[in-house]
Amino acid sequence: MKRSKEGYYHNENRKVKRERPRGVKRHFVWGLFDVVMAVVSVLAAVALVLGLLARVISPEHGSLPAFAGLFFPIVYLVDLFCALWWVVRWSKWVWLPLVMLLVGGGGVGLFYRSDVRTKPAVVDRAREDIVVATYNVMNFSDVDAPEGVENFDRVAEWVNNKGVQLLCLQEAHFSSGQTFGEFKDKLKRLSYGYFVNGAPEGEEAVGSGYAIFSAWPIVRRGVASADSLNVYSVWADVKIGRDTIRVFNNHLQSTGISQEERVSTLHPSIARDTLAGQKLFAVADKMTDSYRLRAVQAKEVSRAIGESPHPVVVCGDFNDTPMSYAYRTICGRNDLVDAFVAKGRGVEHTFKGLYNLFRIDYVMVDKEAFEVKSYDSYDEPMSDHKPIISRLGRKGDD
């Protein structure tokens, strides 16, 4: 039976009517995604620029760049995702994230080293090398220590096993001068020690502070940065043969955020908390104050490093990421080499909290005097920080 023209066109019209809504809906959904991604691209670009400015703008003049710098790696990954989105969408919007990826590319190397290997490269070891370690030991108070075992016994054993020759400890708690001496006696290779209490009551005061241990004589020592409440940096001159080097041990201002505040503000339940805004602002205020204090401390430490009559090795817990004013003030202004940037592998973090996102502990060296031969960090269970070890070769030694 033949279909009439009227019937044919009638059926075609019904088909068009059925298909058109689906096409319009699909176009609307993709258009909506494009609008959202355009907003994300702009916000990510602004955040990345602010993050880069965190290295040059002191938090004393504004803390917004400092907060952006804290999340620089995440923002960079968001920019990368935006670039891929616009490539797939074949849109001119792609130029914005691409430019941002190029602009921020130099900062990526502070967080990620592309030479990823399953095994570390063979290190050219020499008798004149210096094995340096830095470790925030959290007052030797690891709650997971085996029953009857003092945590500083475990730390000492670890140091001995790794063959460390220069050791900088932060948050090192000693209950008495005798305890400090006993700890030094446990360090087989490190015959010389220097301890400064974190509160400015004198280096022999009991409490939590800074310790520098050395296999070579410590001939001079002093405080590089302190205020009326706390000491933030100490130094020691170490005599190695005919040469002298100055070792700086630092612990810059912490955020002051309690564990309870971290848990309450990072948990998804914060979205349902009626006091969420109040809690978040309180945390932000503490972080802002700590950024400003670290800026002042970093400038004092940087000045002390610049005035050193000897080649320097700078260690410690900066409580700040590489994309920060404190890091650049200490490392960049003094033309130091960050051991991780020189010999690190993959993505690194040294603080175990906050989803293992942050590298805040460092070994930095005078690039005219030292060659960084290796960098390693260890996920030891003795603190909320990872210890770092770097092998240094002395330039000019045959």
Looking at the predicted structure, is the pLDDT value of residue 218 above 90? yes
| E strand spans, the chain | 112-113, 130-136, 166-174, 192-197, 207-214, 218-226, 231-240, 243-251, 312-317, 336-338, 346-347, 361-366, 370-377, 388-394
The model's confidence at residue 172, banded by pLDDT at 50, 70 and 90, is: very high
- Of 327, 329, 353, 351, the C-alpha closest to 341 is 327
The first and second tokens of residue 158, run together, are 């670890």
| Neighbouring residues of 58: CB distance < 8 A, sequence distance ≥ 6 | 295, 325
Mean pLDDT of 310-328: 97
* Cβ contact 375:390 at 8 Å: yes
% of residues, the chain, pLDDT over 90: 63
Mean pLDDT of 355-376: 95
pLDDT value of residue 175? 74
The model's confidence at residue 13, banded by pLDDT at 50, 70 and 90, is: low
Higher pLDDT, 188 or 272: 188
pLDDT value of residue 302? 97
% of residues, the chain, pLDDT over 70: 81
Contacts by 98-103, CB closer than 8 A, 24 or more apart: 99/45, 100/44, 100/45, 100/48, 100/49, 101/76, 103/48, 103/49, 103/52
The full set of domain ranges for the chain reads 5-108, 130-394
DSSP per-residue codes, 53-94: HTTTS-GGG-SHHHHHHHTHHHHHHHHHHHHHHHHHTT-GGG
- Please state the pTM of the whole predicted model: 0.87
Fold of the domain spanning 130-394: Deoxyribonuclease I; Chain A (3.60.10)
pLDDT digits (tens, 9 = 90+) for 266-309: 545 555 555 556 667 777 888 999 999 999 999 999 999 999 99
Mean pLDDT of 186-206: 81
Question: Quick one: DSSP state of residue 311?
Answer: -
Which range, 129-133, 141-145, 175-179, 253-257, is most confident? 129-133
What is the rounded CA–CA span in Å between residue 365 and residue 312?
6
* Cβ contact 288:63 at 8 Å: yes
pLDDT digits (tens, 9 = 90+) for 55-96: 999 999 989 999 999 999 999 999 999 999 999 999 999 999
Angle at alpha carbon of residue 350, lines to 348 and 353, rounded to 5°: 115
| Neighbouring residues of 127: CB distance < 8 A, sequence distance ≥ 6 | none
What is the rounded CA–CA span in Å between residue 179 and residue 139?
13
Looking at the predicted structure, is the pLDDT value of residue 31 above 70? yes
What is the rounded CA–CA span in Å between residue 4 and residue 249?
94
**b/e map 343-369, b = 16+ CB within 10 Å:** bbbeebbbbeeeeeebbbbbbbbbeeb
pLDDT digits (tens, 9 = 90+) for 39-55: 999 999 999 999 999 99
Which amino acid, 93?
W
Q: How many CA within 13 A on the CB side of residue 80?
A: 9
